[in-house]
A and B are shown apart, each in its own frame.
Chain A
Amino acid sequence: MAASVTEKPLLRFITCGSVDDGKSTLIGRLLHETKAIFEDQLVALERDSRQHGTQGGKVDFALLVDGLQAEREQGITIDVAYRFFASTKRRFIVADTPGHEQYTRNMATGASTADLAVLLVDARKGLLTQTYRHARIVAMMGIRHVVLAINKMDLVGFDETVFKSITEAFQATAAEHKFTGVQAIPMCSLDGDNVISRSPRMAWYEGPALLEHLDGLDAHEEGGPASFRLPVQWVNRPHLNFRGFCGRVAAGTVRPGDRVRVLPSGATSRVKELVFMGGDLESAGRGDSITLTLEDEVDVSRGDVIASADDPPQATDQFEARVLWMAEHPLMPGRPYLLKLHNKEVTATVTAIKHLVEVDTGNHLAARSLALNEIGVVNLSLSQPVCFEPYDTNRTMGGFILVDKLTLGTVGAGMIDFALRRASNIHWQALDIDKGARARMKHQSPACIWFTGLSGSGKSTVANLLEKRLHAEGRHTFILDGDNVRHGLNRDLGFTEADRVENIRRIAEVAKLMVDAGLIVLTSFISPYEAERQMAREMFSEGEFLEVFVDASLEECERRDPKGLYAKARRGELKNFTGVDSDFEAPVAPEVHLRTGQQSPEACVDQILRELK
């Protein structure tokens, strides 16, 4: 009878190396020797080897693991591929990531779920810049176990001194990154030496072959026994008499009868049952997907955390984190992103980039934004508090992704280091005299009327005329525009994308304070980016925010050119000018859409007033 395959313990690891260090050859060899490659795949491989191989017609194992046709043709791997094999002792998932310079993002992705990293080094070349880079990324993603695979030993005559000197050179790096278990192995992956079993060609080496080492490794300790944490993923409520809280245990163990606390509400109860199809569980531990019921009727929703009552995690709405940027379009401080941490989704903005970490050296550099594949230490501010633990304590409770609000792509990955303040001190002072009270005294509904459009489209003309009309009706109003904001509040800002984002953020904050004061605020700025207009909108209550798109074609605006700015920009004397060398993202669904080429300013004002009523 065969052993129960699905019960064999799993080890996930990642292989990293520069192009041509022999990564694909090594993986191909592991798959081949553990019989994870079938004959028909081998036949296909031989056919491919003749077509694209680099081994002069010999079977090229590298082709086995280069997946997509396009990249096969270019001869580089451009994504993370997962491979599976099993030994007699355990099952393995290998994340195969390309060694190409630009792909920090792929390596971080592969490393995020790995327990161990195999760092490949070409024996002839020794440690390279890339080796240091890979070590840094691997460490940042929380991997503590490393195999230093010194490959191509055949090309240095299986010389022990070469192996020794590379191993010694790596010690400082291992110490810097606090790797707890480093195993250096001399290899020739092309012929399989020290891959599956020890090589007679390197009798001087006394350590284990790679597979032996992987088989024997206990990679799961993450800093001793931990308290119970269950991020709630799903509330199972088939009928009124059953409420099960489902999720995957992030830390610790749980048994019926345990006292637990629900966060962020703080309510306490006891675990009643661990419901499981086929029979309730007596206990569950880290990594188990469970459904638990509680003794008491307490409110629990997706995104909450059920934790041991005596040692609950902290909650915060501001923390410091390391962020890896993964999108072409850079990270902008002040711009709102969606943040997903375990099962909780909130809005987050980077309030400061403390520094950028140079991946090759670890040096700190100043930065105002983060570009693709850059890593920064940043402060983040959230729209609501979240329960967390530092990433180095628990990956599940401290790792998050950032999602762009417009493209909805995953653009960043982050690791929480520590909270900047506890959620308990952030309760707003409940003021007796509130916005409603102030508005009633002014006999008006406060609002923010947000004008957006190209320079010269007519924003100021319409805004000024609107203010006159409102004033005549006895309304309390205020206009925010370039003249009163750029010279004071925002005089430190220029016209780069990062500065434009910050400019709009400050304006939105000021407008919000004025609306709280009961005023009708008119803002008149180009505000070219949808993300910032969206951010501004989200700061106001339903119905308080009116987006007015002052629409005129670029040709029309350039023809009007009231301040001669377009002419200047065209001559190259003005950088980052919207419409010329900086984008304008037209609003998707503005409340009011004015076409100033066809309507008189008076007609425009009438149209806004109709919407205001």
Chain B
Amino acid sequence: MKPSQLESESIEILREAVAGARKPVMMYSIGKDSSVMLHLARKAFFPAPPPFPLLHVDTTWKFKEMYAHRDRMARESGMTLLTHTNREGQAAGVNPFTHGSSYYTDVMKTEALKQALDLHGFDVIFGGARRDEEKSRAKERVFSLRSEGHRWDPKRQRPELWNLYNTRLKEGESLRVFPLSNWTEADIWGYIRDEDIPIVPLYFAKERPVVNRGGTLIMVDDERLPLEPGEKPEMRLVRFRTLGCYPLSGAIESSATTLDEIIAETLSARVSERQGRLIDSDQPGSMEKKKQEGYF
């Protein structure tokens, strides 16, 4: 089958970024967007494997099924998988419960990411963000310039005309490149179905042990989740629209067990996928602030 326009554009972005890069890397967060991005990278460089490694910033709080899926995909794609955890954060016992989601994200994700990038000296970093996800992302460039210290300065972003991307960098600067910029959530699901892309089973509905916290269903994935007095996990038919750290990912009640059912549900959904993410709503414009500090 011929490539679609969306697919062709993403492939072009991937090739262009690699052509201009000294040391590229792909952020791999194991979710559906990462799965699509990885699939596109394999297409872009076929029959060669993509000429860069995968990087997983591991907070140690991902779902068990995510780790299993990650290792399988690295094996199948023939790519090197790098993982990085913020050891100081881990040693200090930073976790999403006692420290709050905002501080936790800062230490275990943003800081960890910067550490990993500095450690390896990557200059071009692929991320799976989409413009339709959140308001401040709608203006994000496809090739987003980061100054020294990974800071995002809105004033220094380069105009992007046609499909001509300026990949030149000064010492210490880097580029975050978003091949899925113009995809929507519906596109992602449709593509996963059409291309038969493997995804983490957590996206499909199943009876899972959950607790209800202020309207958010949190899955009890292991014994580290501290139960509040009187709280008892109950089995509910749920699935996830987005995956992150399990204590921060809200499940939705759903009976969708096939991709067609998921797509039907997504197309008629009245709530955005980010609502299940606890980090976006801590403060107004919060995504924008996190971005300036170096979060994806």
A residues near B (Cβ < 8 Å) are 1-2, 4-7, 9-10, 36, 38-41, 64-65, 67-70, 79-84, 86, 91, 93, 105-106, 108-109, 112-113, 233-234, 236-238, 242, 244, 246-248, 275-279, 281, 284, 287-291, 302, 326, 338, 340, 342-343, 395-396, 399-401, 403, 408-410, 413
Contact = CB atoms under 8 A, between A and B. Distances in A.
Contacts of A277: 42-43, 46-47
A413 B159 contact: yes
B187 A5 contact: yes
A64 B136 CA distance: 11
B98 interface: no
Given A1-B260, A39-B271, A340-B164, A288 B187 contact: no
13 contacts: A5-B189, A6-B190, A6-B191, A36-B132, A36-B184, A38-B272, A233-B16, A233-B19, A248-B11, A340-B166, A343-B16, A399-B161, A410-B159
Given A6-B194, A291-B46, A233 B12 contact: yes
Contacts of B5: 9-10, 287
Interface in B161-202: 161-164, 166, 168-170, 181-182, 184, 186-187, 189-191, 194-195
Contacts of A242: 47
Interface in B245-296: 260, 263-264, 267, 269-272, 274-275, 284-285, 288
Q: Which 5 A-B pairs have the closest CB atoms?
A: A238-B48, A5-B190, A69-B285, A38-B272, A289-B11
Contacts of B269: 38
A401 B161 contact: yes
Contacts of A41: 272
A290 B159 CA distance: 26
A40 B271 contact: yes
A113 B161 CA distance: 7
Nearest to A274: B2
Interface string B105-136: 00000000000000000000000000110011
Contact of B263 (A2, A237, A343, A395): A2
A191 B162 CA distance: 34
Interface in B2-28: 2-9, 11-12, 15-16, 18-19
Nearest to A141: B161
A400 B48 contact: no
A69 B288 contact: yes
A6 to B, nearest CB: 5
A403 B190 contact: no
B168 A403 contact: yes
A36 B268 CA distance: 10
Contact of B8 (A36, A287, A342, A409): A287
B213 interface: no
Contact of B136 (A6, A68, A246, A338): A68
A2 B192 CA distance: 13
Nearest to A7: B4
B224 interface: no
A278 B272 contact: no
Nearest to A42: B270
Contact of A108 (B9, B47, B161): B161
B194 A289 contact: no
A597 to B, nearest CB: 30
Contacts of A278: 1, 43, 195
Instruction: Tell me which of B15, B44, B189 has the highest count of chain A C-beta atoms within 10 A of its own C-beta.
Output: B15
A79 B139 contact: yes
Contacts of A10: 5-6
A83 B19 contact: no
Interface string B32-49: 000000000011111111
Given A38-B271, A409-B156, A289 B168 contact: no
Given A69-B285, A277-B42, A2 B267 contact: yes
Contacts of B136: 67-69
A238 B260 contact: no
A101 B13 CA distance: 32
Which of B19, B159, B184 counts the most A-chain CB atoms under 10 A from its CB? B159
Nearest to A414: B161
B159 A234 contact: no
Contact of A408 (B1, B3, B46, B168): B168
Contact of B12 (A4, A70, A289, A338): A289
B160 interface: yes
B87 interface: no
A450 B170 CA distance: 25
Contact of B135 (A6, A67, A238, A247): A67
Contacts of B99: none
A408 to B, nearest CB: 4
Interface centre among B4, B18, B169, B275 (most CB of A within 10 A): B4
Contact of A2 (B18, B44, B260, B275): B260
A513 to B, nearest CB: 31
B158 interface: yes
Most buried by A among B7, B11, B156: B11
B250 to A, nearest CB: 12
Contacts of A302: 19
B15 A246 contact: yes
A453 B186 CA distance: 61
A248 B7 CA distance: 11
Contact of A289 (B44, B156, B162): B44
B226 to A, nearest CB: 28
Contact of B166 (A106, A275, A403): A403
A238 B170 CA distance: 30
Contact of B284 (A69, A91, A275, A289): A69
A84 B182 CA distance: 8
B194 A4 contact: yes
Nearest to B259: A2
B33 to A, nearest CB: 14
A86 B2 CA distance: 22
A156 to B, nearest CB: 32
A400 B164 contact: yes
A401 B139 contact: no
A480 B286 CA distance: 59
Contact of A112 (B4, B11, B162): B162
A407 to B, nearest CB: 8
Contacts of A68: 136, 139, 154, 285, 288
Contacts of B8: 248, 287-289
Given A6-B187, A109-B160, A67 B19 contact: no
Given A236-B45, A277-B46, A408-B170, A399 B4 contact: no
A113 B139 contact: no
Contacts of A340: 164, 166
A395 B187 CA distance: 27
Contacts of B1: 278-279
B190 A2 contact: yes
Contact of A38 (B154, B263, B270): B270
B216 to A, nearest CB: 13
A109 B159 contact: yes
Given A275-B47, A287-B5, A113 B162 contact: yes
Contacts of A290: 3
B225 interface: no
A256 to B, nearest CB: 14
Given A38-B272, A41-B272, A340-B166, 7 more contacts: A65-B138, A68-B136, A84-B131, A105-B159, A276-B43, A288-B8, A290-B3
B76 to A, nearest CB: 13
B288 to A, nearest CB: 6
A5 B46 contact: no
- Max chain B CB contacts within 10 Å: which of A9, A36, A65, A408? A408
Contacts of A106: 159
Contacts of B274: 40
B143 to A, nearest CB: 10
B163 A396 contact: yes
A500 to B, nearest CB: 25
B16 to A, nearest CB: 6
Nearest to B4: A6
